[in-house]
C-alpha cells in the first residue's frame, strides 16, 4: 500500500509543469556603445603645431561646371560625290588633317559613261543640224525654199549648240576631261581641316548627292564648349559674357570664350540647360575633351583665405584642422578656390574669416597617423 502511494505521488509531481519566471524570459539589457568621432584628434603637445588665422578675401561669385569640346557645326563641310558608284581607293581616314584640293577618294562610276555618251550624241546632232542649216541657207538664197523652212533649220542648229554646252557642263561637274574620259571620279577636299566623320570604306557604294556623305571636314580653329548648367545656377550665366575655360589635359592653360547660346528647353531629368561657349582653338583642344567652364558673376563675396599648406587633400576632398580646445583638433571639410599671391588659397565654403587653423595640415596628419 505504501508503495502504491509513493508511485501516485511521483506521477503527480511529474505531471506538474514548473512555474514560469518573467525575469528569466526577458531579453538581456541593451548595451550602448559610444562611437569615437573620426574627425576629432588629440595630441600630447599641441604647442608644437603652429596656428594661423583665416583672413578675409573679397572675390566675385563664380560658377564652375564641366563641359566637352565639340566642333563648330557652322564650320563643318561635307564631302559629297556627284557620281554614284563603287569606291576603289581611299586616300584619307578619320582624324586626318587635310588641305583644300587634297585627293580623298576615287569612285568608279557608270554615270560618266552615260554623260560622255550624251556629249558625243550632242556633237553628232549639232554637226547634222549645222549642215542642214547651211544647206537651207543656200537654197533660200536661190529661192528654192521658203523663209520659214530656213528659220526651222536655224532653230535646230541653235538648240544643238545648247545641248552641247549642257552635256559638256555635266562632264565638267563630274570632273571629267571631255577629250580624255575615264570612268574613275576623283573627289578632292573642298576645304582645309580635320576629318571628323567617315562613312565610307573600300569597295563600298556611294550614292550621288546622297546621305550620309563619305567624309565630313571640320574647321577646328574655332570650337564649341557644350556644358550643362542646372536651373538654379542659370542666374549667373548671361549671353555675350565671357567664361574661362580650363582643360583637364592642360590644367595650367586658361582660355577665354564667349557665351553664344543658352538652351531654351531644360532637360526634364536633371533640370539643366545646355550652354554653348565659342572659343578660339590654339591647337590644344580636340573634340570630346573634358573641360571646366567658369562663369563669373557680378556679386562681391567675402571669403576666407588661408595658406595653401593648411589645406589637406584627402579622398578627393579638402580639409583643414581647427583647434577645439585643450589638446584636441577637429578636421573640417572645406571647398578650395583659386590660388592667391603669397602662397595663399581662397576657400569658397567651410570656415569663416578669422577662424584659426593649423598652418601645416599634412605634417599634423602624418603625426596623428604614427
Sheet containing 76-79, strands listed edge to edge, beginning at the edge strand earlier in sequence:
76-79, 215-218, 193-198, 97-98
Q: How much is the mean pLDDT over the chain?
A: 86
Residue 318 has pLDDT above 80, yes or no: yes
Residue 344 has pLDDT above 90, yes or no: yes
* 123 three-state secondary structure: helix
CA atoms of 304 and 312, how far apart (whole Å): 16
* 83 three-state secondary structure: coil
pLDDT (0 to 100) of residue 180: 78
CA atoms of 92 and 86, how far apart (whole Å): 16
Residues 266-315 have pLDDT tens digits of 999 989 999 999 999 998 899 999 999 999 877 788 899 999 999 999 88
Residue 1 has pLDDT above 60, yes or no: no
Question: Which pLDDT band, with edges at 50, 70 and 90, does 21 fall under?
Answer: low
Residue 67, beta-bridge partner list: 227, 291
CA atoms of 322 and 357, how far apart (whole Å): 5
pLDDT (0 to 100) of residue 3: 53
- Contacts of 362 by beta carbon, 8 Å cutoff, 6+ apart: 309, 312
User: Residue 243's CB: how many other CB atoms inside 10 A?
Assistant: 23
Residues 209-244 have pLDDT tens digits of 777 889 999 999 999 999 999 999 998 899 999 999
Residue 5 has pLDDT above 70, yes or no: no
Question: Which pLDDT band, with edges at 50, 70 and 90, does 198 fall under?
Answer: very high
Backbone angles phi, psi at 350, to 5 degrees: 125, -60
- DSSP letters of 224-265? EEEEEEEGGGGGG--TT-EEEEEESS-TT-EEEEEEEEE-SS
pLDDT (0 to 100) of residue 27: 65
Cβ-count burial 327-337 (b if 16+ within 10 Å, e if not): eebebbebebb
User: Residue 83's CB: how many other CB atoms inside 10 A?
Assistant: 23
Residue 107 has pLDDT above 60, yes or no: yes
Domains and CATH numbers, the chain: 60-71+219-369 (2.40.30.170), 83-109+183-215 (2.40.50.100), 111-178 (1.10.287.470)
pLDDT (0 to 100) of residue 32: 46
CA atoms of 310 and 52, how far apart (whole Å): 8
Quick one: average pLDDT of 98-104? 93
* 111 three-state secondary structure: helix
Lowest-pLDDT choice from 88-92, 115-119, 196-200, 327-331: 115-119
pLDDT (0 to 100) of residue 71: 93
pTM value surpassing 0.75:
no
CA atoms of 78 and 82, how far apart (whole Å): 12
Residues 168-188 have pLDDT tens digits of 888 887 777 788 788 888 889
Quick one: average pLDDT of 107-135? 88
Quick one: average pLDDT of 31-59? 81
Amino acid at each position: 500500500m505504501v508503495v502504491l502511494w509513493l508511485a501516485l505521488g511521483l506521477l503527480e509531481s511529474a505531471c506538474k509543469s514548473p512555474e514560469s519566471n518573467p525575469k528569466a524570459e526577458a531579453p538581456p539589457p541593451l548595451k550602448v556603445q559610444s562611437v569615437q568621432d573620426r574627425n576629432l584628434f588629440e595630441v600630447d603637445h599641441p604647442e608644437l603645431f603652429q596656428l594661423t588665422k583665416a583672413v578675409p578675401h573679397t572675390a566675385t561669385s563664380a560658377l564652375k561646371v564641366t563641359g566637352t569640346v565639340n566642333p563648330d557645326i557652322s564650320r563643318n563641310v561635307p564631302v559629297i560625290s556627284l557620281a554614284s558608284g563603287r569606291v576603289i581607293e581611299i586616300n584619307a581616314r578619320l582624324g586626318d588633317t587635310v588641305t583644300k584640293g587634297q585627293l580623298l577618294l576615287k569612285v568608279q562610276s557608270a554615270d560618266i559613261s552615260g554623260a560622255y555618251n550624251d556629249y558625243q550624241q550632242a556633237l553628232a546632232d549639232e554637226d547634222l543640224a549645222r549642215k542642214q542649216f547651211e544647206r537651207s541657207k543656200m537654197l533660200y538664197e536661190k529661192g528654192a525654199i521658203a523663209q520659214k523652212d530656213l528659220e526651222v533649220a536655224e532653230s535646230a542648229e541653235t538648240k544643238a549648240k545648247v545641248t552641247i554646252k549642257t552635256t559638256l557642263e555635266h562632264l565638267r561637274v563630274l570632273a571629267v576631261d571631255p577629250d580624255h574620259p575615264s570612268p574613275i571620279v576623283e573627289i578632292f577636299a573642298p576645304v582645309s581641316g580635320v576629318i571628323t566623320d567617315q562613312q565610307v570604306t573600300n569597295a563600298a557604294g556611294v550614292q550621288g548627292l546622297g546621305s550620309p556623305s563619305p567624309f565630313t571636314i571640320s574647321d577646328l580653329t574655332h570650337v564649341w564648349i557644350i556644358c550643362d548648367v542646372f536651373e538654379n545656377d542659370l542666374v549667373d550665366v548671361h549671353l555675350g559674357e565671357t567664361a574661362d575655360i580650363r582643360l583637364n589635359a592642360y590644367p595650367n592653360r586658361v582660355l577665354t570664350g564667349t557665351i553664344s547660346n543658352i538652351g531654351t528647353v531644360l532637360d526634364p531629368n536633371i533640370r539643366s540647360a545646355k550652354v554653348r561657349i565659342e572659343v578660339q582653338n590654339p591647337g590644344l583642344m580636340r573634340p570630346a575633351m573634358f573641360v571646366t567652364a567658369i562663369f563669373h558673376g557680378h556679386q562681391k563675396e567675402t571669403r576666407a583665405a588661408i595658406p595653401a599648406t593648411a589645406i589637406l587633400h584627402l579622398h578627393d576632398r579638402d580639409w583643414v584642422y581647427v583647434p577645439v580646445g585643450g589638446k584636441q583638433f577637429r578636421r573640417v571639410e572645406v571647398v578650395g578656390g583659386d590660388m592667391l599671391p603669397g602662397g595663399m588659397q581662397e576657400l569658397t565654403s567651410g570656415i569663416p574669416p578669422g577662424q584659426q587653423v593649423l598652418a601645416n595640415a599634412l605634417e599634423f596628419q602624418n603625426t596623428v597617423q604614427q
